[in-house]
Amino acid sequence: MSNPDPQIPQLPSSLSLIQKLGAVALISGLLVAMVYEYTKPMIADNQRVALEAALYNVLPASASSRLTFRLEDDQLTLVPDDTPNEGDLIYAGYDNEHKLVGIALTAAAQGYQDTVKILYAYDPYSSCIKDFVVLKSTETPGFGDKIATDESFLKNFECLDAKVNEDQSALAHAIKTVRHGTKKNPWEIDAIAGATITSNAVGRMLDKSGQLFHPAIAQNLNLLENAQRSTQP
Amino acid sequence: MSTPAPKQETSVTLEIFTAGLWKENPIFVMMLGLCPTLAVTNSLANALAMGAATIFVLVGSNALVSGLRHFIPKQIRITTYIIIIATFVTLVDYLIQAISLEMYNALGAFIQLIVVNCLILGRAEAYASKNSFNKSVVSAAGMGVGFTFALACLGSVRELLGSGKLLGFQVFGDNFEPWVVMILPPGGFIVLGSWLILFKWIEQRQTKKIISSDAATHCTVKHNP
C-alpha cells in the first residue's frame, strides 16, 4: 500500500533543473560574448564613419580640422576624436588658419516611434543654429522622416535664433515648434503639417541641447578659439 | 525481437524543406509572425533584411534546440527555448550593426522583437524538440525562406505603390503620385489581405483540379474495369 504508483513519472529534482538551465545559459553567454568581441570593432568603425560623414555635412566647408571637447560642470575639456558620444561632446571645426569656424552638437528627443537623434551646426558668433543631419530616426516614412527633406521645414534652419541671455546662464528665448504657418519669431520652428510630433521633437531637443551647451560655449569661447593654436607644436 | 525504427524518422527529404515554402507557409497559411510582417515590409530591402535575420535565428535556435532535445527537461523547455532564441537574436542584432548601421536603424526595434516571434518558438516546440538535428535545420531553413518569400511579396508591392521604387530604384515615372497609405500600417493590412485572397484562390483552383482529375480517373476505371 505504501509503495508509490509506478505509473507516475519521477520528477527531476530542482537542483538538476537549475543545473541544466545554467548549462544552457552558459552556452548562450559564451556565444554572445564571442560574437560581441568579434563585432565590437566593426560596430565602432561603422559608428565612427557615420559620425564623420555627418560632421562633414554639418560643419562649414572651410573647416579643415576638428577638435572634440567634453562638457562637464560648465567646463570644457579636450578629449580624443574617437571618444564615444554620450550626448556631452562638442565638435569644434577650424579653418587652415586655426580659426574657429563652426560648432557641431548632438541633440535627441522622443519622436513618434522612437528617439530621434540629430547632429546640428551652431555658429557661436551669430548665435544661429544653421543646419542639421539626422543621425537616428525610425519615424513614419512619408511623414516623420520629412524633417530631413521638407524644404519649408529646413528653411527654419537658415538661422534659427539660439542666443544666450546676458548672464550666460540659459537661452535668451526658449526654442519651440509652432503650428504650421504661425511662425512669428526667429527662435520658433514652423512645424510640418502632418508630422507635428516629430517637428515638436526637433524643437524640444534643440531647446534642451541649447540650454545645456550654448551658455557653456559662450562662457568658454576663448578656450574654443585658441584650442587649435595651443595644440599645434 | 526488436522492431527497427521507421526509416522516415531520420531521413531528410526535399518535402521537409518545401513544406515551409508553400504548403505550410508561415504567413500565407499558418499566419504566424504577423507583427514584423506588417511592420517592416514598407520596403523590399527591409523585408529581405528582416527575412535574413529571421532565417538566421530560426535555423540557429532550431539546431540548438534539436541538438539539446534529450538534455532539456520537459519542465523547463519553454524557458530554455526563450534563452536560446534570445541568444540568436542578440547575435543577429550585433551582426546587422556590424554590417550596416543604416539597415539596423531602418529595422528599429523589430530585430529585438524577433525573440517573441511566435513562428520561431512555435517551430522549436512543435518540430525541433521532436526531430533530429538534420531534419530540424532543413525544416527551419524552409520555413525561414518561406517567411522571407512572403515578406518580399508584401515589401515589393508596398514599396512599388507607396514610393514608385523597387530596392531604391525609380520604377515609375516622375508623374507617378505615390500611394503613401501603402507604406503606412493600413497598407500592410491591405496588401497582406490581397495576397491572402490570391493564395486562397490559387489553392482552391488546385484543389478543384485534383478533385476533377480524381473523378475522371474513377470514371475511366469504372468504364474500363
The tens digit of pLDDT for each residue in A159-173 reads 999 989 888 889 999
Whether residues A24 and B180 touch (CB distance < 8 A) is answered with: no
Whether residues A17 and B73 touch (CB distance < 8 A) is answered with: yes
Separation between Cα atoms, residue A227 and residue A69, nearest integer Å: 10
Q: Which helix (H) or strand (E) holds B80?
A: helix B77-99
Chain B residues at the A interface, defined by Cβ less than 8 Å, are 42-43, 64, 68, 71-73, 75-76, 79-80, 83-84, 86-87, 90-91, 94-95, 97-98, 100-101, 105-106, 108-109, 162-163, 178, 180, 183-184
DSSP A100-130: EEEEEEEEEEE-SSSEEEEEEEEETTTTEEE
Q: What is the pLDDT of residue A6?
A: 60
Whether residues A142 and B64 touch (CB distance < 8 A) is answered with: no
Q: Which residues of A touch B129 (CB under 8 A)?
A: none
Q: Which residues of A touch B68 (CB under 8 A)?
A: 24
Q: What is the pLDDT of residue B179?
A: 87
Whether residues A142 and B68 touch (CB distance < 8 A) is answered with: no
Contact A135, A48 (CB under 8 A): no
Of B42, B72, B91, the CB nearest to A141: B42
For residue A37, give the chain B residue with the closest CA. B94
| Residue that the C-alpha cell 541633440 belongs to | A107
Whether residues B97 and A24 touch (CB distance < 8 A) is answered with: no
Whether residues A46 and B42 touch (CB distance < 8 A) is answered with: no
What the block records as the C-alpha cell of A88 is 556631452
Q: What is the pLDDT of residue B185?
A: 85
How far, rounded to the nearest angstrom, does the alpha carbon of residue B176 sit from its chain's CA centroid?
32
Whether residues B91 and A20 touch (CB distance < 8 A) is answered with: no
Whether residues B101 and A50 touch (CB distance < 8 A) is answered with: yes
Q: Which residues of B touch A27 (CB under 8 A)?
A: 64
What the block records as the C-alpha cell of B12 is 531528410
Contact A227, A78 (CB under 8 A): yes
Of B84, B94, B183, the CB nearest to A28: B84
- Is the ipTM reported for this complex over the cut 0.85? no
Q: Which among B159, B199, B143, B153 has a CA at the least distance from the CA of B37?
A: B153
Q: How far is B181 from chain A (nearest CA, A)?
A: 9
Contacts of B34 (CB under 8 A, 6+ apart): B27, B192
pLDDT in tens, chain A (233 residues): 455 556 666 777 888 889 999 999 999 999 999 999 999 999 988 988 888 888 888 888 888 888 999 988 888 888 888 787 777 889 999 988 888 999 999 999 998 877 888 999 999 899 999 889 888 877 766 677 788 888 889 999 999 999 898 888 899 999 999 998 899 999 999 999 888 899 999 999 999 999 999 999 999 888 888 887 776 65
**Which tens digit of pLDDT belongs to each residue from A22-50?**
999 999 999 999 999 999 999 988 988 88
Q: How far is A140 from chain B (nearest CA, A)?
A: 7
Contact A122, A80 (CB under 8 A): no
Whether residues B91 and A27 touch (CB distance < 8 A) is answered with: no
3-state secondary structure A130-180: EEEEEEECCCCCCCHHHHHCCHHHHHHHCCEECCECCCCCCECCCCEEECC
pLDDT in tens, chain B (225 residues): 344 444 445 677 778 888 888 888 888 888 888 888 888 888 888 889 889 999 999 999 999 999 888 888 888 889 999 999 999 999 999 999 899 888 887 776 678 888 888 888 888 888 888 888 888 999 999 999 999 999 999 999 999 998 888 887 888 877 888 888 888 888 999 999 999 999 889 888 988 888 888 877 776 655 555
Separation between Cα atoms, residue A203 and residue A161, nearest integer Å: 12
Of A12, A21, A28, the CB nearest to B87: A28
Q: Kindly give the pairing relationship between strand A188-190 and strand A176-178.
A: parallel
| Residue that the C-alpha cell 554620450 belongs to | A86
Q: What is the pLDDT of residue B2?
A: 43
DSSP-assigned beta bridge partners for residue A164: A171
Separation between Cα atoms, residue A41 and residue A35, nearest integer Å: 11
Q: What is chain A's Cα-based Rg?
A: 25
Of A12, A25, A43, the CB nearest to B97: A43
Burial (CB count <10 Å: 0-12, 13-18, 19+), residue A51: buried
The Cα-based distances of A123 to A43, A74, A91, A120, A170 in angstroms read: 31, 19, 12, 10, 16
User: Per-residue b/e over B181-214, b at no fewer than 16 CB within 10 Å?
Assistant: ebbbeebbebbbeebeeebeeeeeeeeeeeeeee
Q: What is the pLDDT of residue A50?
A: 87
Q: Where are the beta strands (DSSP E) in B80-215?
A: 165-166, 169-170
Q: What is the pLDDT of residue A213?
A: 92
Q: Which residues of A touch B92 (CB under 8 A)?
A: none
